[in-house]
Structure 1
């Protein structure tokens, strides 16, 4: 007879508590996040945060922003489809443009953000929204790097 152990595996120990050790740095990222969010559709912001967090393997941010998106009304089906958004019919043209831009900013290859990705985002968002969207992509990537480097872990529920 075999049994399966259902005990969760503990997360790696956190390395450093950035808000305590460098509160000015932490507050600067908080301020950037607040500025980026001003005037940006909150659901678009959460989709971008989730997708970048998936790509960057930031469990802490992925957990947080998935919960935040659900609170805003994101369906489970759409939430589960974010990682394969191109293959689903669940996302609007604006959401698709935002997700594509988030992926390009996150993966930032040798040639930067492709013109077609940027141009589609510019068609879907007015200039102010586009600026905020770019800033949100930058901000979540900064948060992801804090989370991954410091080994932040989501709380078990």
Structure 2
């Protein structure tokens, strides 16, 4: 990985907060597949090559199909994502693009058809976390390493 500055060394307290939040998101009841799909989709929208590389690799290691990874840009046109995944991906897009998309009440209601109140909050935190990582990674000049 290439980066501009050793930010973990320069701001260890801040990065510890990021890592603590990451730990929290992994302990939620949102399944790992959905979490990884959210991370890939938000990273695609934000153009974070480092995070796209990391999370597509993680998804493949956990058994996610190439087809589902490749089709994330058009998830809403594919029948092989579950209704729960689709609504989580839609929420992901709205939060990632919040200045123009917002989170309308009808989307909130559709999310709540599949997720309880705590899970809704956890989805928002997972989406917020990957958006934060994307911004840190892009600002720090992180790039994936060719394999």
TM-score under structure 1 length normalisation? 0.87
Question: Aligned partners of 1:123 and 1:33: how far apart in 2?
Answer: 26
Question: What is aligned with 1:62?
Answer: 52
Match of 2:94 among 90, 104, 124: 104
Q: In the TM superposition, what is the alpha-carbon distance from 1:110 to its structure 2 partner?
A: 4.8
TM-score under structure 2 length normalisation? 0.93
Question: Aligned partners of 1:33 and 1:119: how far apart in 2?
Answer: 26
1:35-74 to 2 correspondences below 5 Å: 35-39=24-28, 40-74=30-64
Q: Please give the per-residue CA displacement for 1:106-152, whole angstroms capped at 9, x wherever unaligned.
A: 00025621222222111111222222111000100000000111110
Show structure 1 runs of 5+ residues with no match: 1-10
Match of 1:137 among 124, 127, 139: 127
Cα RMSD for the two superposed structures: 1.5
Q: Would you identify which runs of 4 or more consecutive aligned residues in structure 1 move more than 6 Å? A: none
Question: What is aligned with 2:6?
Answer: 17
Question: What is aligned with 1:3?
Answer: none
Question: Aligned partners of 2:60 and 2:80: how far apart in 1?
Answer: 15
Question: Aligned partners of 1:111 and 1:150: how far apart in 2?
Answer: 27
Match of 1:29 among 1, 4, 18: 18
**Distance 1:111-1:58 versus aligned 2 partners, 3 A rule:** closer
**Distance 1:153-1:113 versus aligned 2 partners, 3 A rule:** same
Show structure 2 runs of 5+ residues with no match: none
Report the secondary structure of 1:154's partner residue. Answer: coil
Question: Aligned partners of 1:136 and 1:69: how far apart in 2?
Answer: 16
